[in-house]
């Protein structure tokens, strides 16, 4: 199961970083069903498999922080036997999953205050936290018009558009990424998720930076919503993922190169607010 999860994360079949963190945490449960002669053998296996999960996507800060949290919770307790180490692992996994899911829910609930009724929103990519925030706003009686970018080249935004179209009180328009500037004068607020914020930089799905730039030029506020755990310091070095050229061009490139980065960097001075489970941060 761990190898399958590593492959799934590396191929980005799961798009939400919070879901990735939960899946990776759950994958470690399989270790508690295996036999180990000593505590040292178990801890080595736990650390080795956790490292494999982290390496599967070096750009996901939440994946790294939650995996370190699980491993450290077990290792720092200095378990006397394998059975105790397994119990500590299960407790740490449950704690991480509960923390990730509850943080997302709290961040989404806070974001409702940033969204006015009848707002025209623009969102980019797929974010389960943004989707939860809109759901909370709908439950509060709000209605919206939402423009959703396709998020090329993998068209992840289409998934967001389909989810939103199932909600009552929302008019959804799917647009190509390059049309965001064209529609920006009609937008009241840009609402996006985040992979992570490191120092003064938001790292998020490629295309976020030009959207934030167009929003700034049109005086449209940009709100980012996500878990506070995605605010990271210098201990985490963001590493962009360069994906296969085949996602952009099906046939082989002849005489030219194809570049396909997964994320871009948006300076936080282009943002208005970042909403997390621990509060609203203004820029």
Domains along the sequence of the chain with CATH: 2-106 (1.20.120.420), 112-282 (3.40.50.10470)
So what's the pLDDT on residue 38?
97
Taking alpha carbons only, the member of 74, 103, 93, 73 closest to residue 30 is: 93
pLDDT at 19: 82
Percent of the chain with pLDDT over 90: 78
Q: What is the mean pLDDT of residues 39-60?
A: 93
Q: How far apart are CA 20 and CA 62, in angstroms?
A: 8
The token pair at 88 is 């500590």
The band of 151, judged by pLDDT with boundaries at 50, 70 and 90, is very high
The predicted model gives 52-68 an average pLDDT of 88
- Residue 124: partners with Cβ closer than 8 Å, 6 or more residues away: 148, 149, 151, 157, 177, 180, 190, 192, 204, 205, 207, 208, 211
Structure tokens of 204?
Answer: 């998020």
pLDDT, position 155: 94
Residues known to be catalytic = 195
pLDDT of 86 above 80: yes
| 237 CB-near residues (< 8 Å, 6+ apart) | none
| pLDDT classification of 20: cutoffs 50, 70, 90 | confident
The percent of residues above 70 in pLDDT, for the chain, comes to 97
Predicted local distance difference test score (pLDDT) of residue 119: 94
Return the minimum-mean-pLDDT range out of 13-22, 137-146, 218-227: 13-22
Mapped onto helix, strand or coil, the DSSP state of residue 201 is: strand
Per-residue pLDDT, averaged over 35-43, amounts to 97
Q: Which two tokens stand for residue 3?
A: 């190898």
Pure H helices in 77-141: 82-111, 128-139
Q: What is the DSSP secondary structure assignment for residue 252, as one 8-state letter? A: P
Pairing mode of beta strands 196-198, 263-267: unpaired
Residue 137, both tokens: 């706003």
Give the mean pLDDT of the chain: 93
Lowest mean pLDDT among 3-7, 15-19, 100-104, 127-131: 15-19
146, pLDDT greater than 80: yes
Residue 273 φ then ψ, to 5°: -140, 150
Rounded to an integer, what is the distance from CA 122 to the centroid of its chain? 18
Q: What confidence tens digit (pLDDT) does each residue in 245-275 have? A: 999 999 999 999 999 999 999 999 999 999 9
With bands split at pLDDT 50, 70 and 90, how would you rate the model's confidence at 152?
very high
Radius of gyration of the chain (CA): 20
Residues present in the chain in total = 283
């Amino acid at each position: 199961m761990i190898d399958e999860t590593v492959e799934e994360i590396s191929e980005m079949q799961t798009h939400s970083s919070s879901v990735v963190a939960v899946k990776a945490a759950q994958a470690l449960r399989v270790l508690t069903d295996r036999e180990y002669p000593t505590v040292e053998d178990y801890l080595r296996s736990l650390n080795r498999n956790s490292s494999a999960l982290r390496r599967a996507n070096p750009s996901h800060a939440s994946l790294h922080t939650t995996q370190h949290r699980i491993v450290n919770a077990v290792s720092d307790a200095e378990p006397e036997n394998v059975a105790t180490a397994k119990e500590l692992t299960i407790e740490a996994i449950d704690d991480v999953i509960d923390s990730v899911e509850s943080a997302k829910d709290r961040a989404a609930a806070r974001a409702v205050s940033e969204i006015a009724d009848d707002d025209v929103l623009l969102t980019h990519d797929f974010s389960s936290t943004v989707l939860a925030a809109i759901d909370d706003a709908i439950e509060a009686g709000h209605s919206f018009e939402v423009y959703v970018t396709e998020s090329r080249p993998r068209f992840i935004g289409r998934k967001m558009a389909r989810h939103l179209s199932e909600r009552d009180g929302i008019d959804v328009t799917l647009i190509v990424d390059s049309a965001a500037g064209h529609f920006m004068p009609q937008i009241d607020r840009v609402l996006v998720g985040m992979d992570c914020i490191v120092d003064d930089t938001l790292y998020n799905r490629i295309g976020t930076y030009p959207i934030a730039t167009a929003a700034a030029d049109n005086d449209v506020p940009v709100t980012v919503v996500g878990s506070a755990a995605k605010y990271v310091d210098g201990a985490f070095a963001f590493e962009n993922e360069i994906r296969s050229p085949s996602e952009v061009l099906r046939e082989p490139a002849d005489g030219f190169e194809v570049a396909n980065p997964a994320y871009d960097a948006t300076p936080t001075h282009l943002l208005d607010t970042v909403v997390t489970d621990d509060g609203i941060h203004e820029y």
